[in-house]
Amino acid sequence: MKKIYIRGISGSGKTFLAKKLASLLKTKTFDLDEVVFGKKSWDKRVSDTKRDNAVKRILKRPDWIIEGAYSKPWVEPIIKKADIIINIDSSKFVAKKRVFVRWLKRKFVKGVKKESFKDLIGLFQYIDRKPKMDKWFRTIARKYKKKIINLKNKKEVNKFIKNEL
């Protein structure tokens, strides 16, 4: 496994898994939120050209772990190049709980990227679009016949880390 794509809704555990795998596999992880928004702010998206060029640079690397919650055509090259796709299929309730706790931590910790209450509500709405995002993903992933590993909760994620690597 040299090229891994981890997808799931906000709060599903993508970043947790990506960091664990990166540590074990000695590779770099890339967060698609940073590709879309940059590293400093959630206020403004980068241009489509800048986003697409950043994705192309990452995909040229010999190995990578990319994690994100996007279900858009610009993600398709990532799926196409991935050796394995890990789909974290968390429940909406668990995801919203995790997003809320993360928002509270970021809101009150100095030096952490701040998110507004409007950002929190936006993430909740994004999570509510999960069925539509999942349908898009299944359609695209089938097209490339990739090996997809579905994980439903933190217990399955931890089991995967322990047993599969």
Out of 3.40.50.300, 3.40.50.1980, 3.30.930.10, 3.30.70.260, select the CATH number for domain 3-90+130-158.
Answer: 3.40.50.300
79: nearest Cα among 98, 87, 150: 87
| pLDDT digits 0-9 by tens, 64-80 | 999 999 989 999 999 99
Q: What is the pTM of this model?
A: 0.90
Query: Which is more confident, 143 or 94?
Result: 94
Q: Where are the domains of the chain?
A: 3-90+130-158
Expressed in percent and rounded to 5, the helix, strand and coil fractions of the chain are 55, 15, 30
* Cβ–Cβ < 8 Å for 132, 71: yes
Instruction: Identify the band that residue 140 occupies on the pLDDT scale cut at 50, 70 and 90.
Output: confident
- The neighbour count for residue 107, using CB atoms within 10 Å, is 14
CA distance 73 to 69: 13
